[in-house]
Amino acid sequence: MSNNNYQSIPDSSNSPSDLSIDDVDISYNYEEEYDYNYKKLLKKLFFLFTLLFVSSVTILVYVGYTLSTNTIVNYLEFPQLQTLKQIDNYQDGRLIFIGDVHGEFDNLKKLTQKIDNKFDITNDDKFILLGDFTTKGLHSDKVVDWMKDHDSQVECVFGNHEITALFYQVNQHKDLLDSFNKYIKLTQRYFRKHGFEMPSKQKEKLLRLETHGYIPLEFTDNRNDFIPDTNSIMKAHKQVIEQLGNKRIKYISNKCSAVLQFPQLKLVSVHAGILPSDLEPIVVSERENPLETPRVSHLSIKSLISMKWVDKDDFTKTNKLKFDNAIQWFKLWKNDHLTQIISDKVIRKIISSYQVIYGHNAKRGLNIHKRTNGLDSACVAGGELSAMVYTIKSGQITEHELVSVDCN
């Protein structure tokens, strides 16, 4: 029985001629799929790259700050150098002032042995090195080790060679320090956010570097930072810094001073010299305020470590080399000059009772006068190494004697 409602559906497979190729979309857009995946990949790569970059920068900033700080901390935290050191109430013993050693350790040992044989040195006696105990000779390290081994018996003043070497020590990596300063400025916001604020003293030193082109040496209670003649930095200073190493350098920096004074004994030691007019404010301060440390901001470090000549009319002008209207500084300690320089009779009497012991002037050699004793007898050039030995009893100088040895 047939169903009249049934309508047959054509079989398309059997009737291909009834359909057009345009009626069926059988194509696939590979280009769009490729673009989509490519962009998706780029986004992932960009995200990963950004994450990696940010992480790397964060790590590098932290590590760079830490490593850079550790690298330069020895330079940024270099100690202040003492301008004036005073030793009072020295009652009994001997003060042994030794001229420029210049790394001649064997001759230093020979001299100290001769002094020991003559005076029978005890722990109450003191050796005072008058600067330039390093550089030029072969064994600056052994000289400093000897100082450390006899630390309680040794005092020292800075010579021009110690100061120049210390200045080189601080500034030998000044390019790194300058780069570090710029690095800090670029990243200071990050440091502050994460608690890495640089200490103010380090900032001050980097600011001085930016201002002067060098990090100056700082002296206690002295109004001016000190930058020596940078042309005086020699190969010898670079070599002695390498030979000494950081520990010996820090020892010298903390041990020595530009001026060493024994107020009770009226003795003052420097490397190159000190003028009566420079000692006057110290004496006045001691007299008027005996319990206070004298202010020594007026002292010129340059004069203390290198002076040989001074202008007759302007004592602020000093130099190592002779110049017009100059006089040798030690001549100002003679009576006629003292009368002109120091107007106060009481202060003049105190200053005229002082003796200045110094080194530095090897060309002149031993230069012994009533108030000034020059002890650089050119040991490193084959001359002599000399010492002035003061015998102290009950807080008074009873005698003094010159002792010297020939240097090889």
In this predicted model, what pLDDT tens digit does every residue of 254-299 receive, in sequence order?
999 999 999 999 999 999 999 999 999 999 988 888 777 787 888 9
Cβ-proximal residues to 256 (8 Å cutoff; 6+ apart), any chain = 81, 82, 131, 155, 156, 157, 158, 162
State the pLDDT at residue 6. 46
State the pLDDT at residue 74. 62
8-24 residue pLDDT tens: 445 544 445 554 545 54
Output 30 or 289, whichever has higher pLDDT.
289
State the pLDDT at residue 294. 82
Domain 83-171+230-406 coded CATH 3.10.20.30: no
84-127 residue pLDDT tens: 999 988 999 999 999 999 999 999 999 999 999 999 999 999 99
Is pLDDT of 373 > 90?
Answer: yes
> For residues 103-116, b (16+ Cβ closer than 10 Å) or e, as one string?
bbbebbebbbeebe
> What pTM was computed for the model?
0.79
165-184 residue pLDDT tens: 999 988 887 777 666 666 66
State the pLDDT at residue 51. 76
Cβ-proximal residues to 362 (8 Å cutoff; 6+ apart), any chain = 100, 376, 377, 378, 380, 381, 383
